Amino acid sequence: MSRNLENRKWSNSIGFILACVGSAVGLGNIWKFPYITYENGGGAFVFVYLIAIAFVGLPIIIAEMMIGRMGSENVYSTFKDLSKNKFIWKLVGVMCLFSAFTLLSYYSVVAGWTLEYFYKSISGAFSSITIENSNSVFGEFVKDGKWQVFYHSIFMLITAFIVYKGTKGIETAVKVLMPLLGLFVLIIASVSISKYGIGHSLDFLFTFDLSKLTGHAVLEAVGHAFFTLSVGFGSMLIYGSYLSKETSLMKAGVWIVGLDTLIAVMACLMMYPIIFGTQMELSKSSSMLFTTLSVQFNSLPGGSVIGAMFYALVAFAALSSTISLLEPVVSFVEEIFNISRSRATIFSALVIWIAGNFSALSNGSVQFFTDLKVLDRLDFLVSNWTLPLGGLGIALFSGWVLDRSEKVKQFLDFEQKLFGSWDFLVKYISPVLILVVIGNLIFGSN
């Protein structure tokens, strides 16, 4: 069904861009990027990542926003109404919604952990934490079912409250969260750089020794380019569907990609000086953000305040991402079942909350879910399968299904000279690269 767009539009391009940056900047930037860059040896990996961002991430994020603006409907109806072979494309829409639903269910659990770590840091409970007991502190916490469910519930509640308020709610939230996030990143990076110096970190990040590059690193860089930009989930599509004609998609894309990359690099500059300075090995697991770092902040002046600031920052980044994961699901439920936004929000959030509890209880509190490894398995499924497939669907849809003349109309006059290159990238280059990533998953050894 069609919707009354007028009260849904972003109030201006800045609100829209901030919402997209909020979606893109998340655990992927602050936890995953510093960690995989460290694992893959630095400079050469960063170089490939930047190429992947520019030649795959940027064109596809532009494509996803464009599809959204052309459809001006929920994700599912957009794919259905803009295509001829409806069966296949409806499936792509369903897959995007499935990814958003599933990612949100466990992202909210991990995001909840930041609330506990914020509380522990600010209350001074971490001032005596050591590298020896940080793992057991973390292990005991994630094993405690009631706290897992508690924090997951708080995160879902805040997310649902903002989404229930619609685009206005999202805009207000990101206009507060994003500047704070930037400020906190700057403060933490300056404290850690002034204590330990920046030279070693910059060398590590920007010395391009291509001989160090492995095939695995290249594939990881391409995969991460998708994840960090939130493409393939319908989030950018739904945000694009509230966008007015006058906003330049290419400019918006460059801003989103640029700011997302900046935050990822800054996240490295917050952590690497401490890692190199204290010569502590980075724990090689997803818990690094909570184990190694909670100890390392103690080595900084004002450690508990800086630590608390850090976990607040991760919570802000996660919140602006969870909002953008709930929005595609809510708008789908609202439009397909023709119910009010408040009902759609309550219903969607409730179902996702229930699903998320399985992940919340899968870290040792309930044996059945722990054995099933719910959180890890869902993350594997979404990050490695439905995300690249969704990205592939979006590239092919914008490259081959949509009419060229209709697409041209989505770009402003000054963008026309770049249209041909963009079209070429989404038609050929991006799909081929995604197929290589998926092929490696099926046939590769790692």
Ramachandran angles phi, psi of 19, nearest 5° = -65, -40
Mapped onto helix, strand or coil, the DSSP state of residue 146 is helix
Q: How far apart are CA 359 and CA 84, in angstroms?
A: 38
Query: Which candidate, 208, 177, 229, 283, places its Cα nearest to that of 391?
Result: 229
Q: Are 171 and 18 in contact (CB under 8 A)?
A: yes
Residue 324 binds to ligand TRP (criterion: CB under 6 A): yes
From 21-29, 171-179, 298-306, 404-412, give the range in contact with ligand TRP by CB under 6 A. Answer: 21-29
Q: Which is nearer to ligand TRP, 29 or 283 (CB)?
A: 29
Site string for ligand TRP, 281-310 (x = CB under 6 A): ------------------------------
Q: Which is nearer to ligand TRP, 261 or 324 (CB)?
A: 324
- Kindly state the number of chain residues that form the binding site for ligand TRP, as judged by CB under 6 A: 15
Q: Are 279 and 42 in contact (CB under 8 A)?
A: no
Nearest approach, Cβ of residue 328 and ligand TRP (Å): 8
Residue 357 binds to ligand TRP (criterion: CB under 6 A): no
Residue 233 binds to ligand TRP (criterion: CB under 6 A): yes
Q: Which is nearer to ligand TRP, 100 or 149 (CB)?
A: 100
Q: How far apart are CA 327 and CA 312, in angstroms?
A: 23
Ramachandran angles phi, psi of 5, nearest 5° = -75, -25
Among 228, 294, 410, 430, binds ligand TRP (CB under 6 A): 228
Query: Which candidate, 64, 113, 14, 93, places its Cα nearest to that of 312?
Result: 113
Q: Which is nearer to ligand TRP, 33 or 422 (CB)?
A: 33
Q: Which is nearer to ligand TRP, 25 or 275 (CB)?
A: 25
From 132-140, 143-151, 318-326, 370-378, give the range in contact with ligand TRP by CB under 6 A. Answer: 318-326
- Count Cβ atoms below 10 Å from residue 12 Cβ, excluding itself: 12
Which tokens belong to 210? Answer: 């291509």
Among 74, 148, 235, 362, binds ligand TRP (CB under 6 A): 235
Query: Which candidate, 4, 63, 5, places its Cα nearest to that of 426?
Result: 63
Query: Which candidate, 420, 426, 361, places its Cα nearest to that of 394?
Result: 426
Residue 29 binds to ligand TRP (criterion: CB under 6 A): yes
Residue 28 binds to ligand TRP (criterion: CB under 6 A): yes
Among 230, 241, 261, 287, binds ligand TRP (CB under 6 A): 230
Nearest approach, Cβ of residue 291 and ligand TRP (Å): 19
Nearest approach, Cβ of residue 236 and ligand TRP (Å): 8
End-to-end CA distance of the chain: 45
From 6-14, 74-82, 130-138, 226-234, give the range in contact with ligand TRP by CB under 6 A. Answer: 226-234
Q: How far apart are CA 134 and CA 265, in angstroms?
A: 26
C-alpha radius of gyration, the chain, whole number: 21
Nearest approach, Cβ of residue 118 and ligand TRP (Å): 18
Residue 26 binds to ligand TRP (criterion: CB under 6 A): yes
Q: Are 115 and 347 in contact (CB under 8 A)?
A: no
Query: Which candidate, 299, 292, 304, places its Cα nearest to that of 122?
Result: 304
Residues 325-344 touching ligand TRP, rule: CB under 6 A, are 325
Residue 241 binds to ligand TRP (criterion: CB under 6 A): no
Residues 103-162 touching ligand TRP, rule: CB under 6 A, are 103
Q: Are 242 and 10 in contact (CB under 8 A)?
A: yes
Residue written as token pair 């030649």: 55
Residue 227 binds to ligand TRP (criterion: CB under 6 A): yes
- Per CB under 6 A, residues contacting ligand TRP are 23-24, 26-29, 103, 227-228, 230, 233, 235, 321, 324-325
